[in-house]
Amino acid sequence: MPAAPAPVAFAAAFRRVALIGRYASPGIAEPLIGLASFLFGRGHDIVLDAETARSTPMPGYPTAEPEALGALADVAIVVGGDGTLLSIARQLAVHNVPLIGINQGRLGFLTDIPLAQMEEALDAIFAGHYVEEQRTLLEARVTRADGSHETALALNDVVVSRGHIGGMVDITVEIDGHFVYTMRADGLIIATPTGSTAYALSAQGPIVHPEVPAIVLVPVAPHALTYRPIAVSDAVTISITLEKARDAAVHCDGQAHLAFEEGDSVTIRRAPYPVRLLHPEGHDHYATLRRKLHWGETPERLG
């Protein structure tokens, strides 16, 4: 362990910091080591995500597997991209641990602090100058024809889709026990407001502000063009039954994959706990949308 630093002021609420980096990402070692040194110099206790430590060895700091991090940290800092934050957020949400995203490379919706500004931004956040958001988390429970169950969480979306063999899927959708439709399509996206700017957006779904308590159902290439995206309350329970398919699966955030066969159903509802995100003071969701989606840019500037 590095030598103990001279006492410095820090926010007691965030004394224990979990540090997570994008696994095996080129160039990740330098900012991770620099961040750990910065945090230790401020008097924080640091615990490294075990997988991060395996791909980027940082001797001298304790490590823990993701499922144990939540009990050891007051806050988690993710260095990488939105995919890295999605993965760890699903595991830490149950522990009520807030997350701070440091973006390594392209602008992210969730990892919104640039590497070059991370020390300045973290100083301000640890001094209490931050904006907190609570993002809806979905729980997907697949019930198989034999009665067995499998559950996964999603911060962006739960997607029922055709598999590698190809061919459309026939699905029946119910909301709070009410029949909605039976649809033939490439798939169906069930997205949170967070996920409305991800896969759902490319399928012509609406952008939903994170504070809107809604879930969006977005068909993917439906056989009939009259199937349109719909938004419902995030208090509902959505049930999707696979009626017919050559091959299908349920995907949570594109990272957790559940087998889905004819006769199986997946029930999707809001998880009992949210994901907590901390942003720098003055964080503006609309400004993020403008930058990420290039609103207002002319074709010559985009080229």
Task: Look up tokens 């942003």; give the residue.
Answer: 279
Gyration radius from the chain CA atoms: 21
Helix spans in the chain (H) = 29-41, 50-55, 66-72, 82-92, 118-126, 199-202, 285-293, 299-302
Q: Specify the 3-state DSSP secondary structure of 22.
A: coil
CB-based contacts of 20, cutoff 8 Å, min separation 6: 48, 49, 52, 69, 76, 77, 78, 79, 80, 84, 88
> Active-site residue 186, yes or no?
no
DSSP 29: H
Choose the catalytic residue: 45, 49, 74, 82.
Answer: 82
Give the DSSP per-residue string, 83-144: HHHHHHHHHHGGGT--EEEEESSS--SSS-EEGGGHHHHHHHHHTT-EEEEEE--EEEEEE-
For the record, the structure tokens of 129 come out as: 């100058």
Catalytic residues: 82
